[in-house]
Structure 1
Amino acid sequence: MPAFSESLPSGDSAPDRVPARIWIGFGALCLGMFMAVLDIQVVATSLPTIRTALAIPADMMSWIQTAYLIAEVIAIPLTGLLTRALGMRVLFALAVGAFTLASIGCAASMGFASLVTARVAQGFFGGMLVPLVFSAVFLLFPFRLQGFATTIAGLLAVLAPTVGPVVGGWITQTTSWHWLFLINVAPGILACALGLALLAREAADRALLRTLDIAGLALLAICLASLQIGLKEAPQRGWLAAPVLALLAASVLAGAVFVRRMLVGTTPIIQLRTFRDRGFAIGCALSFILGMGLYGTVYLMPVFLAFVRGHGPLAIGMVMLVTGVTQFVTSPAAVALERRSDARLLTILGFALFGVGLAMSAFSTRETDYDGMFWPQVVRGGAIMLCLLPPTRLALGALPPEAVPDASGLFNLMRNLGGAIGIALIDTVIFGRSPVHAEALKQRLLAGDTAAADLVGLPADALHGAVTGPLDPAIEAFVRPLIEKAAMVQSINEAWLMLACCTFAGCALALLAPARSGRR
């Protein structure tokens, strides 16, 4: 494919050394991706501050994040076509430049409408940066360096959500909320300049832009946006609520028409035929499961630490740093294993360890804090790179170069969809099971169950009044929050177990993948 002829040193004909400009250009790509991923978590920790500053109604606050995520999932599958049409160099400069301008627009927002508009632009252009990086791994580097390059990209992709609460909490507590967005400006300018200067010029096919399937793009937008909004609303409204069912039905219908259009069209937005490759199809399924675990973990830990332990954003971030530090420490071993071992066996090992780490968190109590979360995070942090590198090899490593940009977009889209569905299921467990656990605890306390009293945090002799006479209103007001907190702990533990079961299913799925060795 001529569009990548200057930048593709793959196979046995690859040169022994990769020029420094390629590494620096790849570093610019990684910097842009890190900014886009970090932005989600940095803003998440400071939503109450932004809501107060801009007088945003409480029920509209979540749209600051939802607008970004919807635009992101629409942009990701478009990245392959735009890469072919514009070339990696031009598309990256356009995406990171527009993301930076949108960040300035967010900081300059004076109200809800202007902020959400800027967030849509941020999400759309930021969504292109992740698949661009994973495409670059296979388009810029020879086989022997692809594992190392994937590690760098993967480490930054999963580290950003881990350090995000620390960065967001520190900014919120020490300066203005505007700097949540302005921190993107200097890195964005640097990444754009380095990308333009160092990435290879490519013979792009701009004629593809004139053949862009606008109707197909609209169907894709309706499918993904309806799914995202439906998943967001389902835990609060109920999965069988009419608005939720309507959104999910619209997503399924638009998705079905879109798939048919892509299979019969001459210039499809997404090359769905790539799923005929067994390794790619299974790799995408594993990416979906990993997304559930990664995004679910980053969601569950702040919920527990904030609502059960009462920690602020900065303290939450400090607890969650354990995962990131473990990734840094273990990544060299993951790279070495990935280059020398069967990707399928490493995937099974990685998902098994990650599942164990998730299951270890399912035994938390109301007193669990840094110490109790340390070893589960160590196990998960040590497993993450084994859950990312080998599946990436399974999905993209055997594809022809011209198929990589589209395939990378789909591979990363699956991880984001997994995260969205995982969080929706987690919320369903928490909102649905907490009242059940609270009622059960209440009945056990009224029956004089000392184990229930210990679980809630009451001394055993405090049950006497509840058993022998009517419950005093003051006592009831004191006990109710304790019961609700204990019930939340139990429902969060069930959510951890749900994620662990899904992750263990990934081990079985990996058995169906083709055996692809890291040797060449």
Structure 2
Amino acid sequence: MSADAAMPGGAVAPRIWIGFAAMCLGMFMAVLDIQVVATSLPAIRTALGIPAELMSWVQTAYLIAEVIAIPLTGLLTRALGMRRLFVGATGIFTLASLGCAASTGFATLVAARVVQGFSGGMLIPLVFSAVFLLFPFRLQGFATTLAGMLAVLAPTVGPVVGGWITQTTSWHWLFLVNIVPGILACAVGLVALARQALDAPLLRSLDTAGLALLALCLASLEIGLKEAPQRGWLALPVLALLAASLVAGALFVRRMLAGGAPLVELRTFRDRGFAIGCALSFILGMGLYGSVYLMPVFLAFVRGHGPLAIGMVMLVTGVTQLVTSPMAVALERRGSARLLTLAGFVMFGAGLAMSAFSTRETDFDGMFWPQVVRGGAIMLCLLPPTRLALGRLAPEAVPDASGLFNLMRNLGGAIGIALVDTVMFGRAPIHAEALKQRLLAGDTSAAELVGLPPDALSGPVTTPVDPAIEAFVRPLVEKAALVQSINEAWALLAAAMFVGCVLALLAPAADGRPGPGPTH
């Protein structure tokens, strides 16, 4: 912290809080943008005449650029300084949002989304770095809570915002809503954040070959995970993409460990607290992004709700998180990070497991308590692992480490969604066939499961089924099969959270207290 930011008694100057709030606003915008656009892809597709098979690239382009940018944030922070990087990234994100709104076709929209994703991807690790670089230990818990709450709240309120915009105005406003907050965040950050010297030699020493390997590794992984559920994990294109990711990743790691000026400081993984914290961040990403993905799928395809109605159901998680955050902060400041992490992952896993017993009639009431449990657990799954990962690192190591820590959560989300899709695509036809055979055998419990009255079956079916009856029953069977496969996906995510419980027990007892002091 700069001298002019210090106040009597070790307090933090108001302008530091104001600058940090501007950084949090920029981060919230970037995270919210992903979910807002995801819920409104059909509206964009119709407006721009984009072929159905290309529509998912509007999201994939953003996500690929984002995961490439996240690990580069540490180097760019050291080279440009926090103030310059934040204002630049937020400004580019805002201009790219304007470019998205002005797009007239698929190519221009995807190009703008790439720029948007790359600039927005830097904002999350930048904010979490600021927690440990701007604030003394006693305030880091509160600052982490503020940042973490906004980072996980954005996906929850995204469907509400996206649904409301889609239903009340044009698709352009999905992007134009970023303009005013972006300008405000840039202006406040420019005034409130401390100036830092530009490290031009570090920029000139940028390892372009290493950057190309990193981009190839992460882009191939993202595309491979996207294609695997539909094509099959053993399909040649998927295997080629995953192999390319593996080879490029291995070459990148070798290059980074060889010395010189690495893009990403991978030696930080030698710290047990950081390594376990990153693993926990990866697992949290699976559960967090997987659950935010599964709920709209269930509510849209099983319950038939629109984007706005889906968002209103999902608000329960966000509201619970807001209500329980002060308690999480108090516990994090006084309790063991290892034990609090264990409690958080147990709760989150339990909340996921509770959703694994859904039926075709489950709606707001049936989703209420599982969301309450998960919402109450989120901050315990985020705050203590952040402390474990970053709390005892040297200040100069924090920017790189923050990028890696946040990258792991995004990769966990990508892999979690791919596994969820695999379960749904792979298991739903199997369940549908099993239900069909049970109905043909006269199983009344199967009839009840798909929504038929028990007396609809009078015994085993021995004659060909009337086509009209088959046309009526088939959608019911498919919906019931989808519910069963979604329940299995919930169970898979719950199992991942319980693996996190084991990792929490392996975390070091020294959990990052008192942590590094502010440095600038």
What corresponds to 1:328 in structure 2? Answer: 322
Q: Which residue of 2 aligns with 1:385?
A: 379
Structure 1 distance, partners of 2:409, 2:3, is 30
Q: CA deviation at 1:265?
A: 3.1
Supply the distance in 2 between the matched residues of 1:445 and 1:188 (Cα, whole angstroms): 57
Change (3 A) 1:146 1:268: same
Which of 200, 208, 212 is residue 206 of structure 1 equivalent to?
A: 200
- Aligned counterparts of 1:160 and 1:75: Cα–Cα separation in 2: 20
Aligned to 2:518: none
Counterpart CA distance in 1 for 2:249 and 2:469 is: 54
Residues 414-425 of structure 1 aligned to structure 2 (within 5 Å): 414-425=408-419
Partner in structure 2 of residue 374 of structure 1: 368
Task: Give the Cα–Cα distance (whole angstroms) in 1 for the partners of residues 311 and 107 of structure 2.
Answer: 30
State the partner residue of 1:498: 492
Give how far 1:463 is off. 2.1
Q: What letter is aligned with 2:487?
A: N
CA distance in 2 between counterparts of 1:185 and 1:145 reads 31
C-alpha displacement at 1:519, in angstroms? 6.0
Which whole-Å deviations, capped at 9, do the CAs of 1:185-232 have from their partners, x for residues lacking one? 000000000001000111242211100000000000000000000000
Residue in 1 that maps onto 2:19: 25
- Which of 430, 449, 452 is 1:458 aligned to? 452
- Measured in 2, the distance between the counterparts of 1:272 and 1:294 equals 25
Equivalent of residue 310 in structure 1, options 304, 319, 324: 304
The answer (yes or no) to whether the contact 2:5–2:12 under 8 Å persists in 1 is no
**1:42 Cα deviation (Å)?**
0.1
TM-score, normalization: structure 1? 0.97
Equivalent positions of 1:168-317 (< 5 A) are 168-317=162-311
Query: Which blocks of at least 5 consecutive residues in structure 2 are unaligned?
Result: 515-520
Could you say what secondary structure the match of 1:467 adopts? Answer: coil
- 1:475 paired with 2:469, answer yes
Say if 1:8 and 1:240 are closer, same or farther in 2 by CA, change over 3 A.
farther
1:383-462 equivalences in 2 (<5 Å): 383-462=377-456
For residue 465 of structure 1, report the CA deviation from its aligned partner.
8.0
Give yes or no for contact 2:157–2:311 (8 Å, CA) kept in 1. Answer: yes
Mapping of residues 86-165 of structure 1, within 5 Å? 86-165=80-159
- Partner Cα separation in structure 2 for residue 460 and residue 395 of structure 1: 55
Give the CA RMSD over aligned residues: 1.4
| SS state at 2:10 partner | coil
User: Residues of 2 paired with 1:508 and 1:117: CA distance?
Assistant: 42
Residue 55 of structure 1 corresponds to 49
Structure 2 distance, partners of 1:432, 1:265, is 45
**Equivalents in 2 of 1:292, 1:382: separation in Å?**
17
Task: Give distance in 1, aligned partners of 2:263 and 2:65.
Answer: 16
Q: Equivalents in 2 of 1:403, 1:6: separation in Å?
A: 22
Q: What secondary structure sits across from 2:195 in the alignment?
A: coil
Q: Which whole-Å CA distance do the structure 2 matches of 1:516 and 1:507 have between them?
A: 18
* Superposition TM-score, scaled by structure 2 size: 0.97
Render the CA deviation track for 1:319-355: whole Å, top value 9, x for unaligned.
0000000001000000000000110000000000000
The one-letter code sitting in structure 2 at the alignment partner of 1:513 is: A
Q: 1:168 to 1:41 in 2, by over 3 A?
A: same
Secondary structure of the corresponding residue to residue 248 of structure 2? helix
1:37 aligns with 2:31: yes
2: CA distance, partners of 1:84 / 1:519: 25
1-side partners of 2:310 and 2:107: how far apart?
Answer: 30
Q: Deviations over 1:151-190 (max 9, x none)?
A: 0000000000000000000000000100000000000000
Mean Cα deviation higher: 437-446 or 195-204: 195-204
- Structure 1 residue 459 displacement after superposition: 1.0
- Is contact 2:390-2:512 (8 Å) kept? no
Q: Matches of 1:444 and 1:459 in 2, distance apart?
A: 15
Q: Can you list the C-alpha shifts for 1:81-116, whole angstroms capped at 9, x where unaligned?
A: 000000000000000000000000000000000000
User: What is the rounded CA distance, in whole Å, between the counterparts of 2:36 and 2:188 in structure 1?
Assistant: 25
1:339 alignment counterpart:
333
Unaligned runs of 5+ in 1: none
- Counterpart-to-counterpart distance in 2, 1:58 and 1:232: 15
Rounded Cα–Cα distance in structure 1 between residues aligned with 2:512 and 2:168: 47
What letter corresponds to residue 493 of structure 2 in structure 1? Answer: L
What secondary structure does 1:464 align onto? Answer: coil
Aligned residues: 514
Cα pair distance change 1:517/1:226, threshold 3 Å: closer
**Equivalent-residue separation in structure 1 for 2:372 and 2:198 (angstroms):** 44
CA distance in 2 between counterparts of 1:321 and 1:484 reads 28
Residue identity matched to 1:348: L
In structure 1, how many angstroms separate the alpha carbons of the residues matched to 2:310 and 2:512?
Answer: 38
Distance 1:14 1:137, change over 3 A: farther
SS in 2 for 1:515: coil
Q: In the alignment, residue 46 of structure 2 is paired with which amino acid?
A: T
Percent of residue pairs identical: 82
The whole-number CA distance in structure 2 between the counterparts of 1:321 and 1:407 is 32
Give the conservation status (yes or no) of the 8 Å contact 1:148–1:335: yes
Q: Contact between 1:6 and 1:200, CA under 8 Å: does it hold in 2?
A: no
Verify the 8 A CA contact 1:75 1:125 in the aligned structure 2: yes
State whether residues 441 and 459 of structure 2, in contact with CA within 8 Å, keep that contact through their aligned partners in structure 1: no
Is the contact made by 2:2 and 2:194 (CA closer than 8 Å) also made in structure 1? no
